Amino acid sequence: MTQGDGPIGSGGAVDPEQYSSDDGPSQVTFTLSRDLQKRLDRYLGDRIPWLSRTSLQRLIAEQAVTVNGRHPKASTKLRKGDVITVILPPPPSSDLPAEDIPIEIMHEDADIIVINKHDDIIVHPARGNQSGTIINGLAWHLRHSGGGLSDVGAEHARPGVVHRLDRHTTGVMVCAKNETAHWRIGKQFEQRTTRKRYIALVHGNVEPLADVIDLPIGKHATIRHCNAVRWDDTGKQAVTLYRVLEQYGDFTLLEVELRTGRTHQIRVHLSHLGWPIAGDDMYGGRHIEVRDLLTPEQSRGDRRAVVLGRQALHAALLGFTHPSTDQDVEYRAPLPEDMKNLIQILRDRGPAKQPKVNGRVLDANSL
C-alpha cells in the first residue's frame, strides 16, 4: 500500500479498513511531497493513528521502519522526497478475562458503546492486573450480546479504549467496537473537536466567575504518578475553561470544559490555583466528613462519617460526530449519589449563590 502525505482526513492517513494482516504483516509506504521538518515517530502517529506512539517507536527500534532504505531513529527529521516504509504487524490478540461486572450502558450500536462510569473502577488492565476493569466487564457484556471491541490498543490490554477517566472520576465514556470507529473518534479527540464538560466541586470561593486556565502540565518532579504545572521543556500545553455554577462560601461548584486532554488536567489546574477538588487528597483536597459541613446542633450520629471519600469530579457531557452516520451526538450522565448528596447538604446549609455566567451548558439540577 502506498500513501501520499496529504492532510489527515483527505487520504493522507492509512484507513484501518484497508489494513489487513490475515496472512501476516502488511507493508505501507509514504512519500513526502513537501519538507515537513517533523520527527519520524510523530509523522507516523499522524499517518497510522490507530497505533500508539509507543508502538510506533517499538517498530522503529525493531527495524520495521525504513527511510530511504535505511533504518532510522524515532527522532529522525523528515524532508521532502523521503520514502518511508513501515511493516505493520498483525493485530495482537485482544482476549481478556470476561467478568460479570455491572456496567451502566447509556447507548450502544454497531460502532460505539457509551457508558456511565461509576466510582472506584479502572478503565483497562494495567501493571499486571488483568481483572476488575471496565474492559473486563464490557468483554462479558459483548460476549453475551454479540460483537466485540476494537483491536486498537489491544497490545496494551485496552482494546476499544478511545479515552479514559481516572479511577475515582465518574461519568460519560465512549468505547469503539471496530477499528474504523476507533480511528475516527480518536482523531476527534486528537483534533480537539469533541465537547467535554465536567462538574467539579472544589474547596474555596472561586473568583473570577469564569476564566481560561492555560498552564503547561508535565510529570511532578518528585511525586510518582502525579502531574504538576511545569514551565520547563517537560511541560505540555494544557487549556481548561471553568464557569461557576453555585457558590457555598467554602466550596464552589464548577462547570469545567477541556480543550486539551492531559492526565489529571482538571485536578492539577484547579489545585495549582488554590481550588483543589473536594475529596482529592492526591492534589491538595481532603475527604469530606459530616463535621466539615454541619455544626453539632445540625448533625446527628457520627460526625466523622465520610460524606465524600474521592474526588468530586464527574464527566457530565460528551459530544462528538458519530463515526458512521456523521451525525452530532451528545450524551449526559446524571450526578452520582455521593456528589448529589454533598451538593444538597451544602445547599441546605446555606447560603447558596447561583450567579449568572455566560457560556454555561450544564445545570446541576437537571443532572
pLDDT digits (tens, 9 = 90+) for 246-288: 999 999 999 999 999 899 999 999 999 999 999 999 999 988 8
User: What is the model's pLDDT at position 247?
Assistant: 96
User: What is the model's pLDDT at position 365?
Assistant: 79
pLDDT digits (tens, 9 = 90+) for 22-42: 444 578 888 888 887 788 988
Residue 224 scores a pLDDT above 50: yes
CA 141, CA 287: separation in Å to the nearest integer?
34
Percentage, residues of the chain above pLDDT 90: 52
pLDDT digits (tens, 9 = 90+) for 337-350: 999 999 999 998 88
Average pLDDT of the chain? Answer: 85
CA distances from 251 to 119, 138, 155, 276 (A): 21, 36, 43, 10
Mean pLDDT for the stretch of residues 132-143: 90
Which range among 47-51, 61-65, 119-123, 302-306 shows the weakest confidence by mean pLDDT?
A: 47-51
Is the distance from CB of 172 to CB of 332 less than 8 angstroms? yes
pLDDT digits (tens, 9 = 90+) for 45-61: 877 766 767 778 888 98
Which has more confidence, 194 or 307? 194
Preceding amide of 102 cis, omega within 30: no
User: What is the model's pLDDT at position 146?
Assistant: 74
Is the distance from CB of 115 to CB of 173 less than 8 angstroms? yes
Q: β-pairing, 104-108 with 210-214? A: unpaired
CA 325, CA 185: separation in Å to the nearest integer?
12
CA 324, CA 327: separation in Å to the nearest integer?
8
User: Which has the closest alpha carbon to 40: 22, 19, 60?
Assistant: 60
User: What is the model's pLDDT at position 340?
Assistant: 94
Catalytic residue among 5, 111, 166, 280: 166
Residue 128 scores a pLDDT above 90: no
User: What is the model's pLDDT at position 94?
Assistant: 46
pTM of the model: 0.73
User: What is the model's pLDDT at position 212?
Assistant: 97
Q: Give just the sign of the alpha carbon dihedral 185, 191, 196, 200.
A: positive
Q: Give just the sign of the alpha carbon dihedral 92, 93, 98, 103.
A: positive
Which has more confidence, 105 or 61? 105
Annotated catalytic residue 166: yes
Residue 5 scores a pLDDT above 80: no
User: What is the model's pLDDT at position 349?
Assistant: 87
CA 3, CA 46: separation in Å to the nearest integer?
12
Cell of 309: 471519600
Which range among 33-42, 47-56, 74-83, 140-149 shows the weakest confidence by mean pLDDT?
A: 47-56
3-state SS of the chain is CEECCCCCCCCCCCCHHHCCCCCCCEEEEEECCCCCCCEHHHHHHHHCCCCCHHHHHHHHHCCCEEECCECCCCCCECCCCCEEEEEECCCCCCCCCCCCCCCEEEEECCCEEEEEECCCCCCCCECCECCCCHHHHHHHHHHHHCCCCCCCCHHHCCCCECCCCCCCCEEEEEEECCHHHHHHHHHHHHCCCCEEEEEEEEECCCCCCEEEEECCEEECCCCCCCEEECCCCCCECCEEEEEEEEECCCEEEEEEEECCCCCCHHHHHHHHCCCCECCCHHHCCCCEEHHHCCCCCCCCCCCCCEEECCCCEEEEEEEEECCCCCCEEEEECCCCHHHHHHHHHHHHHCCCECCCCCCCCCCCCCC
